Structure 1
Amino acid sequence: RALPRSEFKIQYVNPHVMSTRCHMLAMYVVLENHLTSLCDTPKAYEGQPGFEVLRTVPGTWDEIRVPLARMNEHVTVARRSGSDWWVGSLNNGTERDLKLELDFLSEGDYQATIYTDAEDVERNPNNLDRQVRKVTRKDIIELNLAKDGGALLHIRRL
């Protein structure tokens, strides 16, 4: 139900959001919310890209960091729950590339599940890419954020 700015119209039947799917997923991490909720029927989410995130994202956090931010442009928030880190990035209406240093992680090996805007996100803002890779605190993740886009990372210790 995400739409590009050019197609967005305010409506009350089948409402839409002016952003991308990754932007909406990242909001679960960036914005403080102790009562995570979904605002639609379960059928509206079934089979949707990124739905598995909504089943696992915590509602409470043990530690919070802001590794990247620029007022009115973008923000990246890293939150730890137990030994897992969740990182959300929100972008404004200008496409940009960010380099996220993982130096907030402890020593050791981790598995990062990375959700980013798909290449065709301008045509279909609901599309996203998902990749899984091994990372350490010395790694730098390149995030390509679409206009009104976002990214989400779930980082687990191996």
Structure 2
Amino acid sequence: MEKTLNRLSIFQVRCQLCTARFQARRPGNRVTSQAFDRREYRRLPANFAATLILDQPAAGGFITDISMGGCALQATTMLPRGTFVKFVLHAPEGQPDIKVDSAMICSVQPQSIGVKFLEFDPEDKQRMGQLMLGLLAHQQAPPRISSRS
């Protein structure tokens, strides 16, 4: 089904804020399977401290990009792919930490690890959505092209 929609330039998209899924049409060149990003959410640049908890001790690190579905983390300790952890994002400016009850290490790179968020408490999920809203609001808007000469 996904390949058929891809040929028609129709793509599945998920809203960062409400997490609803919808389809969008992108005219132009098709995306090949190698270039296709399988993430449900677009990652946003970030710089937050975080902790991975795995039956004690905890491993710390810094988030370099984040979405509602996961993040890239420069960690002090590397964990093997497929490891299940609890994840704590240390929120900025005195806000309460955001806890992910279940997360999984989905990729391991020399300088970072990819973490997929699996289960949130509803309150933490709502606060993560508010954090995403703040990150989206602080991104620079694309330049406008004037139709005037």
Fold-level similarity (TM above 0.5): no
Compare CA radii of gyration and give the structure with the larger one.
Answer: 2
TM-score (norm 1): 0.26
